[in-house]
Amino acid sequence: MDVETMQAHCLSKPGAWADNPWDHEHPVVKVGEGERGKIFAFLGAEKVGIKGGPSREAADEWLDRYPGDATVMAYIGRSGWNDLSFSGAIHDEDLLEAVDESYRLVVAKLPQKQRPSGWDSV
């Protein structure tokens, strides 16, 4: 997996758009309108940050399955966010499914009128 492929996958989601609020090399990917948009993927050259589950306990399953390649994200990890490495230990299909699940978890928390059409069939 590489960051360009992951970014293309993220942006293929209904209502997804790239933002660079911190002037990093790679954007975050949000869903929802403008300033109300919520991040569902933090893109990096060697990893992707995702909402790993609805709770820290659920997100810890990634840490158990891929020690060293899945880590708790700095600052927001207590809320269930993980970094998943592109090193190859985590299969590409699992990385894509993790982003899909992050997207679903984030969109489900948006107010109903801000959820993009077709999001629940992704």
Tell me the C-alpha distance between 46 and 61, whole Å: 21
Q: Is residue 122 a part of any domain in this protein?
A: no
Number of domains in the chain: 1
Q: Is residue 29 a part of any domain in this protein?
A: yes
Range of the structural domain that residue 26 is part of: 3-117
Q: Are 57 and 50 in contact (CB under 8 A)?
A: no
Specify the pLDDT at position 46.
Answer: 96
Q: Is residue 27 a part of any domain in this protein?
A: yes
Q: Is residue 13 a part of any domain in this protein?
A: yes
**CATH value at residue 7:** 3.90.1150.30
Sign of CA dihedral 32, 116, 9, 49: positive
- For 66, phi then psi, to 5°, come to -135, 65
Residue with tokens 């492929």: 5
Sequence-ordered list of residues with C-beta below 8 angstroms from that of 84, at least 6 positions apart, any chain: 47, 48, 49, 50, 62, 66, 69, 70, 90, 95, 98
Cross-strand pairs, 43:
48
Kindly provide the b/e burial profile for residues 31-44, where b requires at least 16 CB atoms within 10 angstroms of the residue's own CB. bbeeeebebbbbbb
Q: Is residue 42 a part of any domain in this protein?
A: yes
Q: Is residue 68 a part of any domain in this protein?
A: yes
Q: Is residue 11 a part of any domain in this protein?
A: yes
Specify the pLDDT at position 43.
Answer: 97
> What is the full per-residue pLDDT of the chain (122 aa) written as tens digits?
999 999 999 999 999 999 998 888 999 999 998 888 999 999 999 999 999 988 899 999 999 999 999 999 998 888 999 999 999 899 999 999 999 999 999 999 999 988 998 887 76
Specify the pLDDT at position 122.
Answer: 65
Specify the pLDDT at position 105.
Answer: 95
Tell me the C-alpha distance between 5 and 116, whole Å: 22
Q: Is residue 44 a part of any domain in this protein?
A: yes
